[in-house]
Amino acid sequence: MHYEWLDAYLLSFPGVEKDYQPVWQWFRYKVRGRLFAAVCSPGPEYKIYGGHDLVNLKCGAAEGELLRARYPDILPGFYSDKRTWISCLLDGELPEEVLRDLCGRSYALAVEKLPKYVRRELTEQPAES
């Protein structure tokens, strides 16, 4: 995996918790219970996803289409709603700055769905470095 920094980066956002889903073999990153990222390594039976390390991230439907057209290492979300999730191949050539930006946008989309008082708490919480 070319993105050894990814785990620490995802955990640096305010209020993020990480857990492991053994059934799916996913490391999940949530903000107050809302999933915004999942890191996994699907087996070869999963066609275009198989044999790759990847991170699933939330995105807008139109944005996802544009990203997939621009970057060959961004695919429709693995085992998720392919309209509003993307999968980024971590063993591909996706630029680090692009992936960092996508992680931040995914986090923001999850936070946007939280109650106003929770969003306020998160903005008052200092980010990890």
pTM, rounded to two decimals: 0.90
- Which pLDDT belongs to residue 128? 59
Residue 80 within a domain: yes
DSSP secondary structure letters along the chain: ---TTHHHHHHTSTTEEEEEETTTTEEEEEETTEEEEEEE---GGGGGGTT--EEEEE--HHHHHHHHHH-TTEEEPTTS-TTTEEEEETTS---HHHHHHHHHHHHHHHHHTS-HHHHHHHHHSPPP-
- What was the pLDDT predicted at 12? 96
- Per-residue pLDDT band for 114 (boundaries 50, 70, 90) equals very high
Predicted confidence (pLDDT) at residue 118 exceeds the cutoff of 80: yes
CATH number reported for the structural domain that contains residue 95 in this entry: 3.90.1150.30
pLDDT category at 9 given cuts 50, 70, 90 is: very high
User: What average pLDDT does this structure show over 20-45?
Assistant: 93
In the predicted model, what is the mean pLDDT of the chain? Answer: 91
Averaged over 3-11, what is the pLDDT?
Answer: 93
**Residue 89 has which token pair?**
């191949």
| Residue 1 located in a structural domain | no
Domain enclosing residue 20, as ranges: 6-124
Encode pLDDT of 40-62 as tens digits: 988 888 888 888 999 999 999 89
Model pLDDT, residue 29: 98
Task: With respect to residue 32, please indicate whether it lies within any of the assigned structural domains.
Answer: yes
Q: What is the pLDDT of residue 123?
A: 86
CA 37, CA 86: separation in Å to the nearest integer? 10
Residue 104 within any structural domain of the chain: yes
Structurally, how many domains does the chain consist of? 1
Whether the pLDDT of residue 126 is over 70: the answer is no
Tell me if 129 is assigned to some domain: no
User: Within a domain: residue 77?
Assistant: yes
- Give domain status of residue 72, yes or no: yes
